Amino acid sequence: MRIETIRAAGDKPAHIRHDDLISAKGVSVVMARQLILRNIDLSVPKGSFVSLIGPSGCGKSTLLKVLAGLVQPTQGSVSIAGLAPIEAARKRMIGLVFQDANLLPWKNAVDNASLLLGIADKSLSRSDLRARGQEMLELVGLGDSAHKRPNELSGGMRQRVAIARALALDPAVLLMDEPFGALDAITRDSMGQSLLEIWQRTGKTIVLVTHSIDEAIHLSRHVHVLGIKPGRITESLDIALPYPRDLSVTEDPEFVRLVVQLRTMLRSSHQPGGAS
């Protein structure tokens, strides 16, 4: 529904393609006299699943923060459905998920899931919030853990609550910064699979920052590789594997070919780039 209203807004700047939900143009970020990001052009089509991958220190997390409106670009501009990121966030168009679930330990899962929604929309009653929280917990597969506190949940379950909390806002885009980075390999796989299912069921646009090659290829439609010193997009890769994908996709010869290709791209992204 939200996506329809965005389309109805219509009068976007000319440089945005109509199917792009997010568009970054010439974004550079300087922090503490250091060039963190240089001249980033990024477009994220509506409803797509895009991964940003790169070595540590390439600024992929900073780029995500720029998209979220948490960091102001020194140069360039970002628009989310024609809005500046901060405005978009205020209109509940951005859902954020970080590596740490950051749940409130004194609240149970359902109250954690509805926390941000309650702040964003003061008109909702407590029971409205609970109902919405419960609905989102069911979406992430935690419907029967609503009354558990974070210390009763596993790391993977906590991260599911964090995803539910972001989805409760009914955002147009989900921005995720290494959301599964602290989880073990098996939990990580099943979380990735769940995320794919949530994506297909809700039609959200997802931007995922990851350092896992397998995860990027397993989940996304487009992968952008970032290089270091300064952070910049060095290469982009379309993942043509058909959806719905499950873990068996990792045995597909095409998957294996893509892993090799992406690994090669990542290796060259470790070379510092000169001025251009």
Partner 1 sequence: MSDQPITDLSEPRLASSWSAATGSWLPAVILLLVTIMAWEAAVRIFAISAFIIPAPSEIAKSLVAQWGTLMQATLVTAGEILFGFLVSVVVGIAIALLIVRFDWLGRALYPLVVLFQNVPKVALAPIFILWFGYGLAPKIGLILVIAFFPVTLSMLAGMQSVDRSLLSLMNSVGASQTQILFRIRVPHSLPNLMAGTKIAATLSVIGAIVGEFAGASDGLGYVIQFASTQLDTALVFAALLLVSVLGIAFYYAAEILERIVVPWAPKFSQS
Smallest separation (angstroms) from partner 1 to the CB of 204: 16
Q: Encode burial over 86-107: b for 16+ CB neighbours within 10 A, e otherwise.
A: eebbebbbbbbbbbebebeeeb
Would you tell me how many other CB atoms lie within 10 Å of the CB of residue 140?
A: 25
**Token representation of residue 192:** 């990735």
Smallest separation (angstroms) from partner 1 to the CB of 230: 23
- The binding site for partner 1 (CB under 8 A) comprises 65, 68-70, 89-90, 92, 94, 96, 98, 100, 102, 104-106, 115-116, 119-120, 149-151, 165, 169
Residue nearer to partner 1 on the CB measure, 165 or 188: 165
φ, ψ of residue 110 to 5 degrees: the values are -70, -35
For 84, counting Cβ atoms within 10 Å of its Cβ (0-12 exposed, 13-18 middle, 19+ buried), the class is middle
- DSSP state for residue 242 in the 8-state scheme: P
Residue nearer to partner 1 on the CB measure, 18 or 106: 106
Amino acid identity of 42? Answer: L
Smallest separation (angstroms) from partner 1 to the CB of 177: 8
Residue nearer to partner 1 on the CB measure, 43 or 102: 102
Residue nearer to partner 1 on the CB measure, 162 or 225: 162
Residue nearer to partner 1 on the CB measure, 87 or 235: 87
Smallest separation (angstroms) from partner 1 to the CB of 257: 36
Smallest separation (angstroms) from partner 1 to the CB of 89: 4
Smallest separation (angstroms) from partner 1 to the CB of 150: 8
Q: How many whole angstroms separate alpha carbon 261 and alpha carbon 237?
A: 9
Residue nearer to partner 1 on the CB measure, 105 or 253: 105
Q: Cα–Cα distances in Å, from 175 out to 125, 152, 209?
A: 27, 26, 8
Residue nearer to partner 1 on the CB measure, 59 or 227: 59
Smallest separation (angstroms) from partner 1 to the CB of 273: 29
φ, ψ of residue 97 to 5 degrees: the values are -135, 125
**Diameter over CA atoms, the chain:** 56
Strand ranges, E, within the chain: 20-31, 34-45, 49-53, 75-80, 94-97, 173-177, 205-210, 222-227, 232-238
Residue nearer to partner 1 on the CB measure, 12 or 92: 92
Question: Is 121 in a helix, a strand, or coil?
Answer: coil
Smallest separation (angstroms) from partner 1 to the CB of 182: 12
- Of 58, 55, 56, 74, the closest CA to residue 66 belongs to 74
